Amino acid sequence: MQITRDTPTQEFDAIVVGTGPCGGFAAKELTERGLTVLVLDAGPMPVPGRDFARHEWPWQEPNRGLSFERRRRPPPPSDRVPLVWAQHPDHPYTTEPGKPFTWIRSRVVGGRSLHWSRASHRLSDYDFKAASRDGFGEDWPISYADIAPYYDWVEEHIGVSGYVEGYPQLPDGKFLPGMPYNCVEQIFRGTALRMGLPATHRRLAQLTRPHKGRPACHFCGACTQGCDIGAMFNSIVSTLPSAEMTRRMTLRPESVVRAVLMGADGKAHGVSYIDRLTRKDYEAKAKYIILAASTLESTRILLNSAAGGLGNSSGVLGHYLMDQVAGASVSGFLPQLQGSAPRNDDGKASGAFIANFRNLKDRHPKFIRGYCMSMSGGQTSSPGFALSTPGYGSSLKEKIRRNYPAQARIYMSAGDMLPRFENRAEVDANRKDAWGIPVLKITCTHSDNERAIWEDGTEKMKEIFTEAGGEITSVGRQISTPGGLIHEVGTCRMGKDPKTSVLDPFCRMNDVKNVYVFGGGPFVTTGSYHPTLTMMALTVRGCEHLVRSA
């Protein structure tokens, strides 16, 4: 890959900031369409053999693989995903007392694509046009028909495994063969279907057969630690190599972008950035600026680019921040599998999946919008329930062995969070990061609607678990902290009316026509499913628009 630490002085056609799923796709699409592109990323270039935890077992790690929620020590959040963190002394952010927000980020070439759970679901017009149906907020300025070809394009490039089902609220895609269900998943799926729920397998950007030079998955189960063979989609095995093939991409890691630079003509003409290691300031020039530094980092760059924020004539830049609802879960055992033969159920980020079924035809009395659920279990790498199993000695071991193949869990994968103006990110003038750049102050809370979704999900999960003959041993007690699901979107929303939006329907800034923002920022609603596939599809659509209108 053409990686440089030099300071490029020529003018590029475009600068892309960030190399996560969206920056990677922007680099690929623009270079393949003939543009010269400088890609700047704040983080280092990872070396999979060195930086991914790969196949170490939890007990081989200093903190036994404990998660960031349980260990609460910055950084890293977990020894198993050392490149992803929430709190970091070099990268602070602030919140109001009593209003926590968990901002889980990574600064490395590839961004969070290196460690994501790969769930890749399309939104539908139930999501894009939700406001027309329930009267809350605004519709997206695009419909499913506008984005469908770009979902196809992204799925064909990254490789998404799944089954065609025909559920209108979860449109089918261009799938690689679906993954087989394990025993727990088969029982749950059968139960859900009997109950009239729209069940399928999670759609995963994880290869079930060789695809575009990448090998098929061998189900080792190390995915969120980083897949060293490239069987799960990430930017460094997929989009960035495609961009590199064109020989039109220059990639400069360790480049922390501070602001978009404006010319007297009202157009952006470059960005200012700081070398992460030497802390020297630089400028780079281009005809187009693409911000793809993640939802909140792109908005931070805009807020730091001009007094009151660049491109903020609408006053909505930074507003309508959303994450999705999680925290609802039910765990226990399926007695029909207790004592069954040992199996290897590793290698999937959850198997069976229930698409949203609320507020499609009928109106729920307590909430609008919806949620999706995952159903998983079996003999995965560690028997998490063992820690809370009472007893000792050989009878304890026997109990754990007997329950191991039968462990089972249902949980909310993503529930809608309503877009509310008061949920926002703004610049905190009193605090700067290690590079002297003002940080974000984030204010985001759940509303009664989100709490009602969480409660409804919990009750539905108990019903499914019981109907499957399961024995429930624990029920999730609280709704997730905003940000905790790592599906943060909004703050730079698209719209038809420049008075109420920052971006046009192609993710181009209304006020500065040669700046595009890709990622979760343009989202108008969260939708009921995982957001990243939609972010990538919006990126491809926006890049096509840029090249057509150049």
Ligand X SMILES: Cc1cc2nc3c(=O)[nH]c(=O)nc-3n(C[C@H](O)[C@H](O)[C@H](O)COP(=O)(O)OP(=O)(O)OC[C@H]3O[C@@H](n4cnc5c(N)ncnc54)[C@H](O)[C@@H]3O)c2cc1C
Distance of alpha carbon 65 from alpha carbon 71, whole angstroms: 10
* Shortest distance (Å) from residue 218 CB to ligand SF4: 5
Binds 22, which of ligand X, ligand SF4, none (CB < 5 to 8 A, cut-off by type)?
A: ligand X
- Contact of 74 with 86, CB cutoff 8 Å: yes
Q: Which is nearer to ligand X, 118 or 269 (CB)?
A: 118
Within 333-372, which residues bind ligand X (CB under 6 A)? none
Within 221-240, which residues bind ligand SF4 (CB under 6 A)? 221-223, 227, 229, 231-232
Q: Is 53 in the site for ligand SF4 (CB under 6 A)?
A: no
- Contact of 251 with 28, CB cutoff 8 Å: no
Q: Which is nearer to ligand X, 377 or 470 (CB)?
A: 377
Q: Is 224 in the site for ligand X (CB under 6 A)?
A: yes
Q: Is 381 in the site for ligand SF4 (CB under 6 A)?
A: no
Q: Is 18 in the site for ligand X (CB under 6 A)?
A: yes
Within 288-347, which residues bind ligand SF4 (CB under 6 A)? 347
Binds 117, which of ligand X, ligand SF4, none (CB < 5 to 8 A, cut-off by type)?
A: ligand X
Q: Is 118 in the site for ligand X (CB under 6 A)?
A: yes
Q: Is 43 in the site for ligand X (CB under 6 A)?
A: yes
Question: Distances from the Cα of 190 to the Cαs of 180, 208, 375, 469, in angstroms?
Answer: 14, 23, 11, 12
Q: Is 532 in the site for ligand X (CB under 6 A)?
A: yes
- Phi/psi-derived region of residue 377, left when phi > 0, alpha when psi is between -120 and 50, beta in every other case: left
Q: Which is nearer to ligand SF4, 223 or 439 (CB)?
A: 223
Note the helical H segments in 337-478: 393-403, 448-467
**Cβ of 361: how many Cβ atoms within 10 Å?**
5
Within 173-232, which residues bind ligand SF4 (CB under 6 A)? 206, 217-223, 227, 229, 231-232
Which residue type is seen at 333?
A: F
Within 78-97, which residues bind ligand X (CB under 6 A)? 84
Structure tokens at 414: 């993503």
* Shortest distance (Å) from residue 300 CB to ligand X: 7
Q: Which is nearer to ligand SF4, 376 or 528 (CB)?
A: 376
Please, is 62 exposed, middle or buried when counting C-beta atoms within 10 Å of its C-beta (0-12, 13-18, 19+)? exposed
* Shortest distance (Å) from residue 109 CB to ligand X: 6
CA angle 486, 488, 494 (to 5 degrees): 155
* Shortest distance (Å) from residue 229 CB to ligand SF4: 5
- Contact of 226 with 56, CB cutoff 8 Å: no
Distance of alpha carbon 206 from alpha carbon 170, whole angstroms: 19
Q: Which is nearer to ligand X, 21 or 309 (CB)?
A: 21
Please, is 98 exposed, middle or buried when counting C-beta atoms within 10 Å of its C-beta (0-12, 13-18, 19+)? exposed
* Shortest distance (Å) from residue 232 CB to ligand SF4: 4
Q: Is 254 in the site for ligand X (CB under 6 A)?
A: no
Q: Is 442 in the site for ligand SF4 (CB under 6 A)?
A: no
Q: Angle of helix 532-549 relative to helix 21-32, nearest 10 degrees?
A: 30
CA atoms 109, 111, 115, 117: torsion sign: negative
**Cβ of 204: how many Cβ atoms within 10 Å?**
29
505 preceded by a cis bond (ω within 30 of 0) = no
Q: Which is nearer to ligand SF4, 227 or 310 (CB)?
A: 227
Selected binder of ligand X within 124, 239, 250, 294 (CB under 6 A): 294
Question: Distances from the Cα of 172 to the Cαs of 151, 216, 299, 374, 430, in angstroms?
Answer: 10, 22, 32, 18, 48
Q: Which is nearer to ligand X, 206 or 403 (CB)?
A: 206
Question: Distances from the Cα of 62 to the Cαs of 59, 65, 91, 236, 391, in angstroms?
Answer: 8, 8, 24, 28, 26
Binds 540, which of ligand SF4, ligand X, none (CB < 5 to 8 A, cut-off by type)?
A: none
* Shortest distance (Å) from residue 238 CB to ligand SF4: 13
Binds 171, which of ligand X, ligand SF4, none (CB < 5 to 8 A, cut-off by type)?
A: none
The three-state DSSP-derived secondary structure of 49-88 is HHHCCCCCCHHHCCCCCCCHHHHCCCCCCCCCCCCCECCC
Stretch that binds ligand X, among 14-22, 177-185, 352-360, 496-504 (CB under 6 A): 14-22
Q: Is 305 in the site for ligand X (CB under 6 A)?
A: no
Binds 432, which of ligand X, ligand SF4, none (CB < 5 to 8 A, cut-off by type)?
A: none
Query: Given the rule CB under 6 A, which residues bind ligand SF4?
Result: 206, 217-223, 227, 229, 231-232, 347
Give the binding site for ligand X (CB under 6 A): 17-23, 40-43, 84, 104, 107-108, 111-113, 115-119, 224, 255-257, 292-294, 297, 301, 486-487, 519-520, 530-532, 535
